[in-house]
Structure 1
């Protein structure tokens, strides 16, 4: 009797698990993507790929097809859209990877016709991509009709229709996010919008704030918000250093440990020169800067060198900094927090690469930037000769 009861309990538990798996997305400690691949030979590799922060396509995970099946498993911090592809399969299939169980029925002849199930986010992705594909098909058809239009009137009409379709595509992410505030895919779209150069970040902030709290309060939501705030700060810093703006004020340590403020170092013309001892292009440019300084210092030119030394590869960043100043004969003012690109001054000026220069007038207004070589000397000559 005891054995029978045990069997019944196990059966009930299995039945319960089976029912739950169909009705509720099961959060896991990592992702499990179970795939079927009819017609795909044993040994064929399939991949999950995505773009890294520099836009380079990299492989995130690899699996091998055996008996027309494959499995990916791993762990991801936040949901991301990756691309599923295979060695003998044309094209790629977008898939939202999150720490849940996901199933894929791979169509080797038309990968976009593959089926993804197991998560609501992928259902939303598939529906969205279907609309995009529908518009793309219409655009391709219109493109052919425009090329073979019988007259200018017909061509103009078709061109206007084509432009309207382009507008629909550009507005799709915005409209989707507004209409689906509870969809995880809406958050994925916001994350994607932030990587586009022409994004209106005030609009993106409004879209984020309009999402359901279940999304904005999630780990993914917190990370997207942090990224959004960081990008907004970068844009604001970039705007603050446009030509015609007053240069951001700063005070920073000199090599002897004193504090030097920008206002105390301004000349009739001032160059703020971002550089570092480890930076080859900076060191190669230094002789030209020395030449310009020696020629125009007596006429009112001042230079403030802001060093971005402090990389972890330097054993003694301050020693490298001061030795480079001496070796290159840089006899002007110098400051540095020895914090690499995290230097507060570099962050205030949105410095992403060096050498970088800003030329200020006597009032501290930016009048030119990022001039090197002959162009730098020509500009200083124009201002002081």
Structure 2
């Protein structure tokens, strides 16, 4: 493959984790977008990687901040970040915006949630979020909320009655229903209920690594059969040892393609482009962060003090080029690789996002 195709990261982050502010924030639970460092290196690395667009996490995910108020503030923060870096960043509202970002040489920023708690008891807030440019709403994080059970909720109860109303509201406003982190019943029920295709933007395949954060073949197949999207992450959960490698990433992509078909699989790395430079120092703080998550009840099975939340040999500005090389070595042709790197997400966005909201 001579030129890099459109690359859309279905879940990632723009940040320089080596900057003091970002490094200090890494060990906290109540993380805020104001603690990110989107500096010259962050932007240069994103461009150098070939990234076209990324679904970033903003708003309330976990902790003791007021969910709705914090989320509105985060939207203000990101609007300012994009405004202050307009030469490099552009806000994505439609599938057409994804293609425009590539043509203009800017990085598209997709506003997404990793927990829908900020909806509160008022589905009318979905309209507010949509108007502000949110395009992806993940129903739950690892724990249960008032919408459904997360992957670590022991009851596996599925969607609540209110959760069904939330899915319907997301459909009405043309937002992606993201079932990453959800429990199995929540995923299956939401995929069946939704009038529009749903996604699992960052996950692995449980058939290869039997951990709760990974999805069963039944979940993967159902999402794909209804026109949805599955993104494979670059995370430790791809190997039960907790030490996933680039080969594991490829194995999970191949399995997902075999289950879902090549038109429904992509990538959602759950990480940054800019690498952590001092891994020894990072490891000393990792155990503290994992312990905090465990104590707060928001960790996932497979998280340990020695499990890095990224794939060591698939990171940095060359991560996508290395993935291309590995997929080619597995016999994948250029068209299939282009689909996985970005075209499948763009096509999925076309099926869900309303064109009339652009602007």
TM-score computed with the length of structure 2 as normaliser: 0.23
Q: Which of structures 1 and 2 has the bigger CA Rg?
A: 1
Higher relative strand content? 1
**TM-score when normalising by structure 1:** 0.22
